[in-house]
Amino acid sequence: MSTVTEPAPTQAAEPRRARTTDRARQERSLGWKLAGPAFVVMLAVTAYPIANALWLSLFDYRLTDPTNRRFVFLKNYVVILGDPIWWRAVGVTLLITVITVVVELVIGFGLALVMNKALSLIRPVLRTVILIPYAIITVVSAFAWQFAFSNTSGFVNDWFSFLPGISETTDWFGGFWSSLAVICASEIWKTTPFISLLLLAGLAQVPEEMQEAAQVDGATWWQRMYKVTIPNMKAAIMVAVLFRTLDAFRVFDNVFIMTAGAQGTETVSLLAYRQTITRVEIGMGSAVSVLLFLCVVLISFVFVKGFRINLAQARGEG
């Protein structure tokens, strides 16, 4: 019996790599020449402090006693990672980060939809009004929220005394959860416009033809939202959430102004400040700063890998 040998499956032709044109090479060269000096300056002002902090973190170094500076290698890291104060600060920081980013993403997406669909006549005014909180300095907004919720000079207790649990003598900064609620509310009010602005840019990239085609096929508003709009905004959502998460994880101003870390609200940035500036423990404070830097790098890595977004491809360069 004769056997029939099936032809070996032909391998899919590999896509040819696009040939770089002379104009593209010239544009790339011009881009490096224009951005090169700024890149070198940024590298100098960011790489040196990081390297210096990493070096100082290997020493037992107190600024008030510089002559007794000793090389202790990783002892500062062992002390910090074995201290419950560090892990509590990490927990509080993560709690603030998760609450603020999730709430800001939901509210910011709603504001982006409103700004995107608003009538062209009121659109500039609407965008300006929404972006006003983001233009205010964080320290100023923190003081404003502290005064508003103060039980001596604030108005919140008077306005909302009809709600259960709130009276004229309610001390918002006298407990952990109430303090955290005010801190998160201030963060959300201040930075939601930032996320809405990034999401608005993502909405502008969604092809209107796809929306119209889905509508003609009978898709409801929700079906168009999670099958057309959100998938086409994946890169913008990733950038907005990543930037805001990194910003929220190093929260300092609101906590420093409102509670100064009291009631167990100390964050990682405030812990680094207290070790370095208040206690002038340069070695220990530098170690906390390096750990904070590593946390930020880890968050960035998780987000980029988790979203599986190629930003160059999203821009149409790949």
In the structure encoding, which two tokens stand for residue 312, read together?
């160059």
Number of neighbours of residue 184 by Cβ within 10 angstroms: 21
Q: Which tens digits make up the pLDDT trace of 153-193?
A: 889 988 988 888 888 888 999 899 999 999 999 999 999 98
| Residue type at position 279 | R
Helix (H) or strand (E) holding 274: none
Q: Cα-flanking dihedrals φ and ψ of residue 80, to 5°?
A: -65, -50
Q: With 70 as the cut, is the pLDDT of residue 8 above it?
A: no
| pLDDT, average across residues 85-102 | 94
Pick left, alpha or beta for residue 171 (phi over 0 → left; psi -120 to 50 → alpha; otherwise beta): beta
In the structure encoding, which two tokens stand for residue 136, read together?
């205010």
Q: With 70 as the cut, is the pLDDT of residue 16 above it?
A: no
Q: What pLDDT is stored for residue 92 in this prediction?
A: 95
Q: How far apart are CA 112 and CA 106, in angstroms?
A: 10
Q: How far apart are CA 192 and CA 185, in angstroms?
A: 10
Helices 176-204 and 123-135 pack at an angle, to 10 degrees, of: 140
Q: Report if pTM > 0.85.
A: no
Q: With 60 as the cut, is the pLDDT of residue 93 above it?
A: yes
Q: How far apart are CA 2 and CA 6, in angstroms?
A: 12
3-state helix, strand, coil in the chain (%, to 5): 70, 0, 30
Q: With 70 as the cut, is the pLDDT of residue 23 above it?
A: yes
Q: What pLDDT is stored for residue 314 in this prediction?
A: 55
Whether 177 and 295 have beta carbons less than 8 Å apart is answered as no
Q: What pLDDT is stored for residue 68 in this prediction?
A: 85
Q: How confident is the model at residue 318 (pLDDT cuts 50, 70, 90)?
A: very low
Q: What pLDDT is stored for residue 14 in this prediction?
A: 52
In the structure encoding, which two tokens stand for residue 234, read together?
């994946």
Which position has the higher pLDDT, 99 or 26?
99
Q: Which tens digits make up the pLDDT trace of 206-254?
A: 888 888 888 888 888 888 888 888 888 888 888 889 889 988 998 999 9
Q: What pLDDT is stored for residue 29 in this prediction?
A: 87
